Structure formats: C-alpha cells, structure tokens
Amino acid sequence: MNSATLPAPRSELTIRGLIIGIVITLLFTAANVYAGLKAGLTFSTSIPAAVISMALLKAVRDATIQENNIVQTVASAAGTLSSIIFVLPGLVMIGWWTGFPFWTSFGICVTGGILGVMYTIPLRRALVTDSDLPYPEGVACAEVLKVGAGGSAEKLGNIPVETRAHADAPPRETQVNSAGLRAVVMGAIASAIFYIIVQTRIFASDVASYFRIGDRGAASGFDFSLSFMLFGVGHLVGLWVGLAMGVGALIGWAWAVPHFTALHPAAGAAADVAQAAWSHYVRFVGAGTIGVAAIYTLAKLVKPVIAGLAGALRASRARSAGTLASMPRTEHDMPIGMVGLISLLCLIPVAFLLWNFSRTSGLGDHTWLLTIGGVLFVVILSFVVSAVCGYMAGLIGSSNSPLSGIGILVVIIAALLLVAGVQAEAGTSKAVVAFALFITAVVFAVASIANNNLQDLKTGQLVDATPEKQQWALVIGVIAGAIVIPPVLNLLQQAYGFNGAPGADPAHALPAPQAGLISALAQGVIQHNIDWSLIGIGAIIGVVIIIVDEILARTTNGPRLPPLAVGLGIYLPTSTTLMVVVGAIVGAIFDARADRGKNPEGTKQLGVLLASGLIVGESLLAVIVAALVAFADKLGFNNPKEPLSLVGDSFATPGLILGGIVFSGIVIASYMWAARRGRVNS
C-alpha cells in the first residue's frame, strides 16, 4: 500500500475518553436504576453521553469523532446494564435477600454483561454489516457525532467524504456542542430543583382520586404524579408507545379494577380496595398480555435471526481468504479466539455463583445438577436472547425493545425446568424460586447488553470506528456499571423498599414493576399457586391488541398499538403511566411543530436532549434523597421518611396548585426555548 494512501494516526481508544465515559456511566447508571424501579422504563444514554463528550473534548485539538464515539460506547452501559433491576430486586421481594450483597450482585452483572458483549461479536456482520435493519438509535447517535464534528477533517477522523453528514456546515457544531449540552443541563437542573421542592412539600406532586362505582362494591380511581422524570420518559418512548400505555391503563382501571372489585367485594376505603384488586388480580392480567406480546414478537424474529446467522457464516467464509491488514478498519473485530477465551473465563465465576447459591440455599443435594445444568442453561439461553435482542434493537431501537418480555419468558422456562428436575422438599420451595430468579438475572444481564451492543456497533460503522476498540470499551463500561449498581440498589432498598417486599411501606415503596411480576411468576409456577385464568384473560387481551396493531400496520402509515406497551399500561400503577402518556403527547406536539419550521431534525434533537436532562436531574436527586432517607436517623432528621419536609398535610392543596403551575410553566418555557434555539441554528 502506498504511504500516501495510509490513514493518518488518530485518537480513538484513549485514557481521557475512557475516564469521561466511566464518569458518565457511574452517574447515568444511578439515574437509570432509580428510573427503572420507579417507572419500569430505562432511557438510552448514548446521545446525551455523546453530547457531553463533545462539549468536554471540543477544546482538545486532536480529539476525533471516533474518540467521542468511544465515550458514548462506554456510557451506553448505563442505559443497558441497569436493566438488571427488572429481575434482581425480586430476590428481596420474595424475602430471600434483605439487601444486595456486593460481590454476588457485581458477579451477576459483570459476568452476564461481558458475555453479552462476547455473544454479539459473531452476530455483528449478520445483523449490522450485512443487514438493512434501521438501528434508529445507532443512526441518530452517529448523526449527532457527525454534526458535532462539523467540517473539520481532523475531528471527523478520516471518515470517507461520502459518509460524512453536514461536513460543509460548521455552524451546526454549535447546535450540538453548545445548545445540546445546554438542553441536557437545563433540563437536569429544572427537574432536580422541582424534585427538591417537592421533597420539602411546598410543592405537592400527587393528584389521586378513588371512588366507589354502583351498588356492587366496585371501586376504581387514578393517581397522577407530577414527575419530570416520567414526563421525559414519555417524550423518549414516543406518541404511539405512550398512547398504547394509556390504553392499557384504561383497560386496567376502567374495566379490570371495577370488574374484580365487584367480583370480590370488600369493606374499606375505595383506595385500599382498588389497589388490592390491582395488586392481586390486574397485575397478572397485564402479565398475560405482556407474555403473549413477547412470544409474538419473538416468533416474528425466528426467520430473520436464522437468516442473519446463515449470512454471518457466509460472510466469515468469504473473508477467510483475506488478511486483517487488507480489510477495512470497520471489519476489525476482537479476535474470535479471544472471544471464546473470555466467554469461557466468564463461565467459571457463573458456575461458582450457581454452585455457591445452591450449596448455601438448602439445595445441597442438587448442587451439581443445578450448577452444570445452570451453566448449560446460561450458555444456550444467553446466545438465543443475544440474537433476538440484537435483532429487536436493530428493528425498533434499544429503548423500545421488549426486554422485560425476554425476562418473563426466561424465568418461566427456568421455573418449569426446575419443577421438572428438582423435587423441592418441604421448606425448600422458596430456595427453588430464588434459584430461578438468580439464574434468570444472569441471562438477563446478557440480554441487556446484547440489546445495546449492536446499536453501538452500528454507530461505529457509520463514523468509521474500529469495532474491536468499541467492544473493549463496552467491556469497561460493563465493569463500571456493575460496580455502581449494587450500592445504589442497597441505598434505594434501605430508603424506600420495593412494593410487595417484606416490611416495605406501600406509601413510599418503589414499584419495581418488572421485578415484582417476574418474581410472582416464578413463585406461581414453582409453588403451583398461580392463577392461570388471570394470565389467560390477559393473553386474550394481548391477542386482540396484536390483531388491532397488525391491522393498523397494514392499513395506515402512522398509528400503532404496540402490544407490549399496552401490557405495561395494564401492569404499571397509574401514578407511573399517566405522566408518561402526557410526556408522549407533548413530545409529539413539539415534534409536529418542529416539522413545520426550519431545521426540524435539529430542533427535535434538542427536544430529545431536553427530555434526557429531565430524566437525569430528577433521577440523580432521587438517589441523593434516598441516601438522606437511609441515614436520616444518624443525620438527626426529625422525619426519617421525609427528611426535607418543611410543611405538613395542611399545605397539600396550596402545594398542589403551586406545583402544577410551576410544572406547567417549566414545560412550556423549556420547549419554547428548544424550538426557538433549533430554528436559530438552522
């Protein structure tokens, strides 16, 4: 090769980039853990991380787009590995754990996460290079990186000219680096300040109303929460997902709760009766809907996943005649021998975790069966979910991928296998349930990273990054995320507890919806006390929703009714669902207005960054307040559950009026600023 044609040296996998990525990962992981436990949804951190990275590195002369890409790759672990909270708190909910032992929780997260990276490497060519999957979030992140790099060839880092976006428009760099960072910071500060004032009770945040219906004892109601975090989640999930969750809430509270309270009349306050019916009956209806939707989604993916794997084998054979030096940089994966070695090394601690859990849980007679069978279960199920999650992420994006549905299917398979293979003796059924949740957590950690890794590799492909360096970066991100997840979970568990866990205060407990559902399913299957009729009703609802969604897909260009979102709407409390619906509607209105103005894509991008900031601000402050609650006695607070409260219950009505006015004002002002700034930077 002529020296004139060799690419110039460039910054990519750097110490400074890794440090920035790790710091962002630690902060965003803590925020995402709280958001997932509160709302049942986590948010993608790639784009906010890319914007923050570009703002921090813009003054560095030799910083490149590929280095910024490494930062967002590391930080993306915060948006994915934190999904482990959809399973792990179940061990506390069933009373098996009283907290989250660091090394055990860390071991689950880090081994599963690294396996997720390794398992998706052989799938890259099939599902990224040789695929026409859209990868919406990966493409969007690549566009943010390209626009942020502006017209500088040095910053673009030798991206081929034909793949550069807006390379001749340097003014747009200001939009991403300056306005984009300002959007994130402004949203974070606004939501954090509002959350703190709510904690003082000067602003009230909950509008709740429960009532009796008719003379048969039926009850229903709603609980609406003024939460910027939930509002931001609604903006990010989009209009149709948000409306589908609203449809689920209507099914749950306009039909299911009144129906079951009438079938099982009970004395007491309407709120207590309605909440009891939702907890004991309606959640399992939602589980049936989620389960059917997940199975349907997976069934649709069987053919393309098989075709993708066949394509990977063909691509491997076609490239076997070449050498690494002659192949493009974008084809340099981590060596397959290294992938195999790391995978085997990860399975050793997995085997130890399973062996130790079996030995110390009263299942000692089945230790080797559970250990060997468990490792085989992890190996096989992990590869299946990696392929499925990678495809789903490419099809609809990591944030919208039905990851909780994967967890439901995995725990049911694990529970059924345990029922068939382990004869639980009297007093050991809880241990078997705990083992089912434990092994599901390992597979779920694999699924969560696989759900994101190919998205990152798509971004890398579009910005001429080296896949191998991204793969190592994500391993580092997994380790950083795994370090912070156990202490944050412990902090939140001590401060609030989880809904349904022994000793948890329902008034303050975090819903942790997916963990509650998955643990309830494991208990029901293993202890043979699950009411399959409730799940059957939900399954019928799911089938109807699937049919409606397919009709909409074939007859319209826009409206959809995602079945998994409807199931979540049935399952989640209205205190979570309703504000997500509002955020989705407001976000859609903002996007529609942006489409009619100058620079629509840039304006909508600022809206996404603003929404991300709203989530991050409240979530991070919630973790800090949780620390105050956890250590309130030692810190000398008079009210341990509400350490920052300044006023009493008598101020509830004025506080609600004040909170509502300020909340609305912040939303209007923030979105007006984003719209105006988007037009200015056209």
In a domain, 43, yes or no: yes
Q: Among 122-131, 289-298, 337-346, which stretch is predicted with the lowest mean pLDDT?
A: 122-131
Q: What is the pLDDT of residues 303-338, one digit of tens each?
A: 765 665 565 555 555 555 555 455 566 667 677 778
What span, in angstroms and rounded, lies between the C-alpha atoms of 655 and 205? 8
Evaluate if residue 511 carries a pLDDT over 90. no
Judge whether 529 lies within some domain: no
pLDDT in tens, 79-110: 678 888 888 998 999 888 988 999 999 999 99
* The pLDDT of residue 5: 43
Q: Report the mean per-residue pLDDT for the chain.
A: 79
221's enclosing H/E stretch is: strand 218-225
Residue 1 has pLDDT above 90, yes or no: no
The mean-pLDDT minimum among 23-27, 490-494, 661-665 falls in 23-27
| Look-up of token digits 């709740």 | 208
Does the pLDDT value for residue 113 go beyond 80?
A: yes
pLDDT of residue 589: 93
Mean pLDDT value of segment 247-253: 93
Q: Has residue 470 been placed in a domain?
A: yes
- Residue 396 is part of which domain span? 9-176+297-315+336-354+361-424+431-502+518-524
Tokens for 557, please give them: 């260009």
What pLDDT, on the 0 to 100 scale, is given for residue 300?
Answer: 73
- At 288 the pLDDT is 85
**For residue range 353-392, what is the model confidence (pLDDT) as tens digits?**
999 988 888 777 788 888 999 999 999 888 887 777 777 6
Q: For a pLDDT cut of 70, what percent of the chain falls above it?
A: 80
Domain for residue 48, yes or no? yes
Is the confidence at residue 668, as pLDDT, over 90? yes
Of the candidates 370, 484, 365, 388, the residue with the CA atom closest to the CA atom of residue 435: 370
* Whether pLDDT at 6 is above 60: no
Task: Report helix, strand or coil for 211.
Answer: strand
pLDDT for 57 equals 76
Nearest CA to 580 out of 107, 229, 196 is that of 229
- Given a cut of 70, is residue 614 above it in pLDDT? yes
pLDDT, position 247? 94
Question: Could you tell me which residue, 435 or 504, shows the higher pLDDT?
Answer: 435
Q: Which residue has the higher pLDDT, 78 or 553?
A: 553
pLDDT score of 538: 92
Q: Does residue 661 register a pLDDT over 90?
A: yes
Looking at residue 160, its pLDDT comes to: 45
Q: Does pLDDT of 127 surpass 60?
A: yes
pLDDT at 466: 82
DSSP 53-95: HHHHHTT-TT--HHHHHHHHHHHHHHHHGGGGGGTTTHHHHTT
The pLDDT confidence band at residue 8, using thresholds 50, 70 and 90, is very low
574 versus 181: which is more confidently predicted?
574
> Which pLDDT value is given to residue 175?
45
DSSP 233-252: HHHHH-HHHHHHHHHHHHII
**Does residue 407 sit within a domain?**
yes
Distance CA(507)–CA(499), nearest Å, equals 9
Return the structure tokens found at 572.
């989640």
Q: What is the mean pLDDT of residues 651-670?
A: 91
* Domain assignment of residue 673, yes or no: no
Residue 102: is it exposed, middle or buried by C-beta count within 10 angstroms (0-12/13-18/19+)?
middle
**pLDDT top residue among 418 and 8:** 418
Predicted local distance difference test score (pLDDT) of residue 598 = 81
Q: Residue 171 — pLDDT band, cuts 50, 70, 90?
A: very low
448 part of a folded domain: yes
How many domains does the chain divide into?
Answer: 1
| Position 159 in a domain | yes
At 396-451, the pLDDT tens digits run 566 556 577 678 778 888 888 888 877 655 456 788 889 999 999 999 888 888 87
Q: Of 72, 43, 87, 51, which is closest to residue 228 (Cα–Cα)?
A: 43
Is residue 609 over pLDDT 90?
no
